[in-house]
């Protein structure tokens, strides 16, 4: 029998955890892995080879390649198009800061408890439902052309300004729901413990709930901002000369669609690394939670063995 008496009498303590068995990779599993990798490589090459043969031998391939894959037009239009991406980046950075702040306010307002805050929760819910239901282009048109058309004194007429406002209104509705999901994922006992220590409801939300909620929703927020980066091209419809508008100008001047290929490559170069970084953050958070759960179970098992329970 193993227990506290054994330890007091000088018997050696039992090992807390059995040493993990160290098994080197067997030759059979290594061969299976190499075989799977080879099959995946061959199937991928075969698929894209067949697809390329079909496209190249299509009846209209010559016309399409001349319209979309003109090397001369690519080299001529690329510098001007890439240069205009700075407008999109500026628009994205300004809107992102505003969205993060305003969406957090909306999420907190929708999470306020008690009947006295019902009007506040109702207004926040109506705002979120309204801007999640409206198409983005429609909101940009209404703000970009409608508000300046009123000719109100002191109201700016700059389309860039109204593009930032429209994107902020649209994406804050989506991001607020991400924040709210993070707030609701924090166990109520956390806020209850904070209240028992003397913190008010707002202090518990600020110092206990929100830090945990924000840390948990960082990967979903990055996904939303990948979409925001792409949707910055929508402001071109109200006259902002950014990367997409510059692309259209080049296309109409040359009667060739190759400039659109330049724009596509720019966004691919920006969004794919961001997407992979987001996936890495999601995987790291999942592994961290799994490691914490395993550590907690191991600690409980060690305590049980220390006092003579379990095996």
- pLDDT tens, residue by residue, 94-110: 999 999 999 999 999 99
CATH number of the domain that residue 239 is part of: 1.10.3720.10
Per the listing, tokens 């799977």 go with: 36
| pLDDT, mean of residues 160-182 | 95
Question: Is residue 300 very low, low, confident or very high in pLDDT (cuts 50, 70, 90)?
Answer: low
With respect to residue 116, please indicate whether it lies within any of the assigned structural domains. yes
* Predicted pLDDT at 302: 61
pLDDT tens track for 212-233: 888 888 888 888 999 999 999 9
| pLDDT, mean of residues 157-161 | 93
Rounded CA gap, 93 and 89, in Å? 6
More confident residue, 254 or 3: 254
Backbone angles phi, psi at 307, to 5 degrees: -100, 15
With respect to residue 302, please indicate whether it lies within any of the assigned structural domains. no
With respect to residue 31, please indicate whether it lies within any of the assigned structural domains. no
| pLDDT, mean of residues 150-179 | 93
Nearest to 143 by CA among 170, 119, 117, 123: 170
Does the structure show a pLDDT above 70 at 117? Answer: yes
Does the structure show a pLDDT above 60 at 19? Answer: no
Q: Quick one: DSSP state of residue 187?
A: -
* Predicted pLDDT at 290: 76
| pLDDT, mean of residues 201-214 | 87
Question: Is residue 14 very low, low, confident or very high in pLDDT (cuts 50, 70, 90)?
Answer: very low
* Predicted pLDDT at 309: 52
With respect to residue 222, please indicate whether it lies within any of the assigned structural domains. yes
Backbone angles phi, psi at 3, to 5 degrees: -175, -165
**Rg (alpha carbons) of the chain, rounded to whole number:** 29
pLDDT tens track for 227-282: 999 999 999 999 999 999 999 999 999 899 999 999 999 999 999 998 888 888 87
Rounded CA gap, 163 and 158, in Å? 9
Rounded CA gap, 23 and 56, in Å? 50
Q: Quick one: DSSP state of residue 16?
A: S
The helices-and-strands tally (H runs, E runs) of the chain is 14, 0
With respect to residue 187, please indicate whether it lies within any of the assigned structural domains. yes
Whole-number mean pLDDT of the chain? Answer: 85
* Predicted pLDDT at 252: 92
pLDDT tens track for 178-189: 999 999 888 888
Rounded CA gap, 111 and 292, in Å? 28
DSSP string, 192-207: HHHHHTT--HHHHIII
Domain that holds residue 223: 81-256
pTM listed for this prediction: 0.77
* Predicted pLDDT at 106: 95
* Predicted pLDDT at 204: 87
* Predicted pLDDT at 306: 52
With respect to residue 56, please indicate whether it lies within any of the assigned structural domains. no
What's the token pair of residue 14? 């039992």
Per the listing, tokens 């379990």 go with: 310
Question: Is residue 1 very low, low, confident or very high in pLDDT (cuts 50, 70, 90)?
Answer: very low
* Predicted pLDDT at 299: 64
Which residues lie closer than 8 Å to 305 by C-beta, 6 or more apart? 2, 14, 16, 311
With respect to residue 107, please indicate whether it lies within any of the assigned structural domains. yes
Q: How many CB atoms lie within 10 A of CB 156?
A: 12
User: How many folded domains does the chain comprise?
Assistant: 1
pLDDT tens track for 67-88: 899 999 999 999 999 999 999 9
* Predicted pLDDT at 233: 95
Q: How many CB atoms lie within 10 A of CB 204?
A: 20
DSSP string, 17-51: SPPPP--PPPHHHHHHHHHHHHHHHHHHHHHHHHH
* Predicted pLDDT at 296: 67
With respect to residue 215, please indicate whether it lies within any of the assigned structural domains. yes
């Amino acid at each position: 029998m193993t227990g506290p008496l054994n330890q007091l009498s000088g018997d050696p303590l039992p090992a807390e955890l059995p040493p993990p068995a160290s098994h080197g990779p067997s030759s059979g599993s290594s061969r299976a892995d190499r075989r799977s990798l080879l099959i995946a490589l061959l199937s991928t090459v075969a698929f894209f080879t067949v697809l390329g043969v079909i496209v190249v031998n299509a009846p209209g391939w010559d016309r399409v390649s001349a319209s979309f894959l003109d090397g001369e037009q690519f080299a001529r239009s690329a510098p001007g198009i890439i240069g205009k991406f700075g407008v999109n980046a500026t628009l994205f950075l300004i809107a992102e800061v505003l969205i993060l702040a305003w969406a957090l306010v909306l999420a907190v307002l929708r999470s306020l408890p008690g009947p006295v805050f019902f009007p506040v929760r109702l207004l926040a819910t109506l705002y979120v439902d309204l801007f999640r239901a409206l198409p983005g282009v429609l909101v940009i048109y209404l703000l970009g052309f409608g508000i300046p058309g009123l000719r109100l004194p002191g109201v700016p007429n700059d389309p860039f300004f109204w593009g930032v406002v429209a994107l902020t209104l649209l994406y804050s509705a989506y991001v607020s729901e991400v924040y709210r999901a993070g707030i609701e994922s924090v166990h109520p006992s956390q806020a209850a413990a904070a209240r028992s220590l003397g913190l008010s409801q707002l202090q518990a939300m600020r110092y206990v709930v929100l830090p945990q909620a924000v840390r948990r929703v960082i990967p979903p927020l990055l996904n939303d901002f990948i979409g925001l980066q792409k949707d910055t091209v929508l402001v071109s419809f109200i006259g902002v000369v950014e990367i997409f508008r510059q692309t259209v100008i080049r296309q109409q001047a040359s009667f060739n669609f190759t400039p659109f290929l330049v724009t596509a490559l720019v966004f691919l170069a920006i969004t794919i690394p961001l997407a992979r970084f987001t996936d890495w953050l999601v995987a790291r958070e999942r592994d961290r939670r799994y490691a914490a759960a395993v550590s907690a179970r191991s600690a409980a098992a060690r305590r049980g063995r220390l006092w003579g329970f379990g095996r």
